[in-house]
Structure 1
Amino acid sequence: MEVIFENVSADYQLGPIRSPLVLHSVDVTIQSGSYTAVVGYTGAGKSSLLKAMNGLLLPKEGQISIGHLLIKPDKNKKALKSIRKRVGMVFQFPESQLFAETVEKDICFGPINFGVPKTEAKEIAKQVLEQVGLQQDILTKSPFSLSGGQKRRVAIAGILAMQPDILVLDEPGAGLDPNGRKEIMDLIASWHQDRGMTTVLVTHDMEDVVTYADSVIVMEKGQVVLHDDVEKVFSNHEQLEKWHLDVPDARRFQLNFEKQTGILLPKVCLTVDDLADAFIEVGLA
């Protein structure tokens, strides 16, 4: 399912706090079935872009197409319900959204809210719990009795239970230890591959970008300043520095190596395997 932003500008307001133009004249198309990473320094508009896809942030100007559905400035809550079923959003620290007495009730809440019969919702809960790597014996447990990693998985299972076509994630590995973080990221990659989902990931970790994504959106001051495939984005490190963005470890090693030795490697290296292949090609390994 394709996502198209057409000249989208948006303000953010919570009570008396107003942030003007958190999105400013955004024009970007996210291809169906792609895995897109959204990067940029803090405050660049990354999370706002995700919220706009889900209708949590309505455009002040322009429109957003989610397949054949439209998000416009005058969109009402009833019309947005169908969009939110299609676009599953995982916030930072999603476990903070857990609220029900049992894991089963928490996971079933979304499907039942969208009209799925209770018995069917319970079957869906069992399926998605398995998909996030948890045993069914925790269905009757309180979500608040679980470990931090288990809570994160239950929260994500609740999103998957709604069977979205598009999955948008805001730093899903935040706060987890390295092993737990990798497990979550690998699970997301598996769902993306198996279901052919359109996946959009906000991250500050460039290793995640080169490991999982096939395209990158770079944001600055509420605007999309670049949208390209991963290799092309990281080929221009000088421009990335202007946007206050880091590069993956392998690319940093390559740049330092080339600067110190004067030997240019034959391609942009984003992983250790890329480096090994490049060194072999120039006769250094």
Structure 2
Amino acid sequence: MQIRLDTVTADYRVGPIRSPKILNAVSTTVKSKSFSAVVGHTGSGKSSLLKLTNGLLLPTSGQVEIGDHIIKSENPKKSVKAARKKVGMVFQFPESQLFAETVEKDIIFGPLNFGMSVEEAKVIAKEVIVQVGLEVSILKKSPFSLSGGQKRRVAIAGILAMNPDILVLDEPGAGLDPKGKKEIMSLIRSWHEEKGLTTIFVTHDMDDVALYADEVIVMEKGSIAFQGTVRDAFRDADRVRNWHLELPEARRFQLKLEKEKAVSLPRVCLTLNELADVLIEVGLA
């Protein structure tokens, strides 16, 4: 399912506080079944871009298209509800959203809200809890008795239970140790491929971009500074620095080696395995 923004401007409001044009005339298309990272320094508009996809933030002008559903500032209620059936959004610390007395009740809450029967929802809860790498027995436990990594998995299972066509994640690895983060990101990538999802995630970690994403959107001051393949995004180191971003570890090593050896390797390397292969190919390893 494709996402399209057509000259979208959006203001951000928290009570009486208003930040005008947190997004400024943004036009972009996120292709169906793509896996895209959204990056940028703090306040660039990354999370606001995600919130437009399920109506948590509404455009003040322009429109957001989620498949056949169009979200505008005028009369958005019906279109937002339809879009939310298609878009599963995982917040930065999704475990903070857990509220029910058991894991099962937390997971089935969304499906029940969208009209599924209790029996159907419980069957799906058993399926998704296994998909996130947890035992079915955990469904009867209180979510508040779980570890941080388990809570994250339960929260994501609740999103998967609604069977979204689009998966939107705001810093899915935030607060997790390296092992837990790798497990969560690998699971997300696997679901993306198995279910043919359109997936977008915000991250501050450029190695996550290099390892998991196919495309990248770079946000700057509420506008899109770049959209394209990950390899093209990290090709020009000076441009990346101007975006106030870091390079992935492998790309940093590549540029350091090229400078020390006075060579130019034949392609941009995004992972250490890619870099090792290229060094063998050119006879430097």
Matches within 5 A, 1:39-118: 39-118=39-118
Conserved? CA contact 2:69–2:79, under 8 Å: no
CA shift for structure 1 position 135: 0.7
Say which SS state the counterpart of residue 65 (structure 2) adopts: strand
Matches within 5 A, 1:189-268: 189-268=189-268
Say which SS state the counterpart of residue 18 (structure 2) adopts: strand
CA shift for structure 1 position 75: 3.5
CA shift for structure 1 position 15: 0.4
Is residue 122 from structure 1 mapped to residue 138 from structure 2 by the alignment?
no
Matches within 5 A, 1:152-191: 152-191=152-191
1:136-166, Cα deviation, whole Å (9 max, x unpaired)? 1111111111111111111111111110000
CA shift for structure 1 position 78: 3.4
CA shift for structure 1 position 79: 3.0
Say which SS state the counterpart of residue 174 (structure 1) adopts: coil
Instruction: State the alpha-carbon separation in 1 of the partners of residues 224 and 211 from structure 2.
Output: 22
Which amino acid in 2 is paired with 1:175?
G
Conserved? CA contact 2:70–2:79, under 8 Å: no
Residue 31 of structure 1 is matched in structure 2 by: 31
Which amino acid in 2 is paired with 1:236?
D
Is residue 277 from structure 1 mapped to residue 277 from structure 2 by the alignment?
yes
Instruction: State the alpha-carbon separation in 2 of the partners of residues 179 and 276 from structure 1.
Output: 23
User: Tell me, which stretches of 5 or more residues in structure 1 are unaligned?
Assistant: none
Q: Which runs of 4+ in 1 moved over 4 A?
A: none
Instruction: State the alpha-carbon separation in 2 of the partners of residues 152 and 242 from structure 1.
Output: 34
Residue 141 of structure 2 is matched in structure 1 by: 141
TM-score (norm 2): 0.98
Instruction: State the alpha-carbon separation in 2 of the partners of residues 80 and 248 from structure 1.
Output: 36
- Return 16-25 or 75-84, whichever deviates more: 75-84
Conserved? CA contact 2:165–2:197, under 8 Å: yes
Say which SS state the counterpart of residue 19 (structure 2) adopts: strand
Say which SS state the counterpart of residue 164 (structure 2) adopts: coil
Instruction: State the alpha-carbon separation in 2 of the partners of residues 132 and 222 from structure 1.
Output: 34
User: Tell me, which stretches of 5 or more residues in structure 2 are unaligned?
Assistant: none
Aligned length: 285
